[in-house]
């Protein structure tokens, strides 16, 4: 048991999928895993452990934003022995070539700050995804025929952004989409010698104002979870 995760050590798998929304953790666990059991309900931040094609997986809500994700990922790694952490979540598209429903695999993430800023000081650390996971996810997405983009994203501290000038620079420099968690996930994985990746579905678009209707969100989420599971277990039959 930790402050935020009410599980015993053996309840959490080495591979953890991290949706921001705890209800999405429940949906993904019930949809994709066998022998599912609830392993965390502290603050309603639901976590479930089950098996996918014989491999044990935990799906744990991370909450919204890097400070919340940082709490769960620190405890998952330090107290429960998590080794492979894959964020599954939504993002806003930031390029004309990116459409809603597409998947983005975040190679790296730009930020203004992260919860790790305090130890990085003047260093502009470049958070990056694990290459093996990224490659396996790209292969899984290609096999499914899901339109997928691989590149840099922006992990923002705010959803209601007040800096259009910064967004303009990021669009200009090829940033594919904006979300609020991946950079800190990648930094924590680097610090603790773990593997991390963010697999994101484009739910809305900053340039066009388009947004995925809720009726269609489930389908894109389904693709994203399958890609994440196949990336974690590329040899699963």
**Active site residue ranges:** 204
Of the ranges 111-119, 120-128, 132-140, 177-185, which one interacts with ligand HPA (CB under 6 A)? 177-185
Q: Is 114 an interacting residue with respect to ligand HPA (CB under 6 A)? A: no
**With binding defined as CB under 6 A, does residue 116 bind ligand HPA?**
no
Among 1, 37, 43, 159, binds ligand HPA (CB under 6 A): 159
Closer of 178 and 231 to ligand HPA (Cβ): 178
Task: Kindly state the smallest distance separating residue 160's Cβ from ligand HPA, in Å.
Answer: 9
Maximum separation of any 2 CA atoms in the chain, in Å: 49
Query: Beta partners for 52?
Result: 55
- Nearer to ligand HPA (CB atom), residue 79 or residue 161: 161
Does 180 sit near ligand HPA (CB under 6 A)? Answer: yes
CA-CA-CA-CA torsion sign (224, 228, 234, 235):
negative
Of 130 and 181, which has the nearer Cβ to ligand HPA? 181
CB of 229 to ligand HPA, least distance (A): 22
Q: What residues from 190 to 229 belong to the interface with ligand HPA (CB under 6 A)?
A: 203-204, 206
CB of 64 to ligand HPA, least distance (A): 8
By CB under 6 A, name the binding residues for ligand HPA: 90-92, 156, 159, 178-180, 203-204, 206
């Amino acid at each position: 048991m930790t402050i935020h995760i009410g599980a015993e050590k053996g309840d959490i798998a080495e591979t953890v999928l991290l949706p921001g929304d705890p209800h999405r953790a429940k949906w993904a666990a019930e949809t994709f895993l066998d022998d599912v059991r609830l392993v965390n309900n502290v603050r309603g931040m639901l976590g479930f452990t089950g098996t996918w094609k014989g491999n044990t997986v935990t799906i744990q809500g991370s909450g919204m934003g890097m400070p919340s994700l940082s709490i769960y990922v620190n405890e998952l790694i330090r107290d429960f022995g998590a080794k492979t952490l894959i964020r599954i979540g939504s993002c806003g598209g930031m390029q004309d070539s990116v459409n809603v429903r597409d998947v983005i695999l975040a190679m790296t993430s730009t930020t203004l700050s992260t919860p790790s800023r305090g130890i990085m000081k003047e260093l502009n650390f470049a958070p990056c995804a694990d290459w093996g996971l990224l490659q396996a996810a790209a292969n899984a997405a290609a096999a499914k025929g899901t339109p997928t983009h691989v590149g840099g994203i922006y992990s923002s501290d705010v959803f209601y952004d007040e800096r259009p000038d910064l967004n303009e620079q990021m669009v200009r420099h090829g940033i594919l989409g904006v979300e609020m968690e991946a950079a800190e996930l990648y930094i924590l994985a680097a610090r603790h010698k773990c593997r991390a990746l963010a697999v994101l579905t484009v739910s809305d678009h900053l340039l066009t104002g388009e947004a995925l209707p809720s009726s269609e969100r489930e389908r894109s989420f389904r693709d994203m979870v399958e890609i994440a599971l196949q990336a974690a277990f590329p040899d699963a039959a």
